[in-house]
Amino acid sequence: MELIQVLRQLMANTFFMYYKAHAIHWNLTGIEFAQYHDWFSDAYEGLFGSLDAYAEYMRAVGVKAPAKIADLAALAGVENLSENDSLIVMVSKFDSDNAKMIQMLKLAVPVAAAASEWAIENFLAERLEHHQKMGWQLRAVMNS
């Protein structure tokens, strides 16, 4: 079922974006430390909070959520980050991952609708809104 694969990929990408946001939160430096530290704290909390919903929606359609990190890594398309990356590189990589999530979610919403999974469709639409907001916020800060 296409919906199951979509949910698995979105969960995997969300998991690695969560971790990346946390790693940025831990490792960033510079004059804007406090602003980014707080923003990435909010980002990883929002991403982490959605992981359980992805897993529960998978269970609702009859499959179990991936349990192996290797399985999540194989499904994810996020770019690696180094603790030595500059702030602008870390933010840029995170923004790129977020843009991929937006595109994935735009494709996923109609998949859920076609499967008549209205609750999943609503959840995915809410996640799309969340990622779009993160996107404009990141672009606003990077262009300042």
Nearest to 98 by CA among 65, 74, 132: 132
Residues belonging to the chain: 144
Tokens of 133: 């907001």
- The beta-strand segments (E) located in the chain are none
Q: How far apart are CA 127 and CA 10, in angstroms?
A: 10
**Domain of 132?**
2-142
The amino acid at residue 120 is I
- Grade residue 144 by pLDDT with cuts at 50, 70 and 90: low
Q: What tens digit of pLDDT does each residue of 64-88 get?
A: 999 999 999 999 987 788 888 888 8
In CATH, what number is assigned to the domain containing residue 112? 1.20.1260.10
Please tell me whether the overall predicted TM-score, pTM, comes out greater than 0.75 for this model: yes
Tell the residue number behind the tokens 């180094």, with chain if given: 82
Q: How many domains does the structure of the chain reveal?
A: 1
